[in-house]
Amino acid sequence: MFIVHDYFQAVFFCVITMLCWGSWANTQKLASKNWRFELFYWDYVLGIMIFSLLSAFTFGSIGQEGRGFVADLQQAEWGNIRSAIIGGIVFNAGNILLSAAIAIAGMSVAFPVGVGIALVLGVLINYMTAPKGDPVLLFVGVALVMVAILVNAWAYKLKSAGTTDKANTKGIVLAVLAGILMAFFYRFIAASMDLENFVSPELGKMTPYTAVFIFSVGILLSNLLFNTILINRPFVGNPTSYATYFKGGFGTHLTGILGGIIWGVGNSLNLIAAGKAGPAISYGLGQGATLVAALWGVFIWKEFKDSPINVNGKLAMMFLLFLVGLGLIIAAGQ
């Protein structure tokens, strides 16, 4: 299988993760013009599943290092399989809430709040279980990201001054809940792998490619429950149906599948990089997606259009704090 041996290559993979995790929601924004997010989300989950299989049978099965996907799956212990499945269930619950928050409050608000909280809590959780990297640089970087999140909330409050939009308040609450849940999913996947040795992993543990596949199965299975509930009892708007889903056009379905593949690419590269960079740094850099999503939301989707002039300064401060914080997280691993 393909394995990363160099720290800077691992950082490069984490940067790609950042771009993927911060960009997949554009497909939701595109589909939302004529497609409910609950219906989009089924295609998104299918995209994640499809990529996990493609990755497993290509990069997870080539080369002389490590265990190939099929052999690795056959020897995996149930406890590790269960851990990756739980990771998929926890992620799916959080990501559905994040998708709902995006639909209600927009990318430039939902991502910095939701994924920013996930970054802060997730780095802490992953570092406590697998300490790797300079803790001072790492947590100062995380602290700056936290300040950036607060600045974003400040900017959003200024933008919404004088309004009493309860839906937007609901979007922020959903983003906070999503962030708390998403802080935990990575730990379950990491626990199912031998992060210290991808070349000759411990018996019973899984390689990143196998763990991603099992994780994706957990997402797919839990979606049968979670998304069925949302289709019938949505956070906002009227209920929809599976009949409506099957009436969707090919292009509409393809948009959602593409969104899942984009997220899946980022997830796979992040877990591959975790063996060299450590789960705390790898996860923290990947969740720099908050910055990427905020850029999309502000400059492409114009979600802060017609805001008071003083909001622009707050947004610039947020981006600067994110960049410095992420730079310190990278430096922590050297």
Q: What is the pLDDT of residues 94-105, one digit of tens each?
A: 999 988 888 887
What is the mean predicted confidence (pLDDT) over 235-257?
93
What is the mean predicted confidence (pLDDT) over 322-334?
86
What is the mean predicted confidence (pLDDT) over 114-133?
87
Q: Is the pLDDT of residue 279 over 60?
A: yes
Q: Is the pLDDT of residue 164 over 70?
A: no
Residue 135: partners with Cβ closer than 8 Å, 6 or more residues away: 127, 332
Task: List the chain domain ranges.
Answer: 7-332
Q: What is the pLDDT of residues 49-67, one digit of tens each?
A: 999 999 999 999 998 888 9
What pLDDT score was predicted for residue 163? 56
Q: Is the pLDDT of residue 27 over 80?
A: yes
What pLDDT score was predicted for residue 92? 96
What pLDDT score was predicted for residue 284? 86
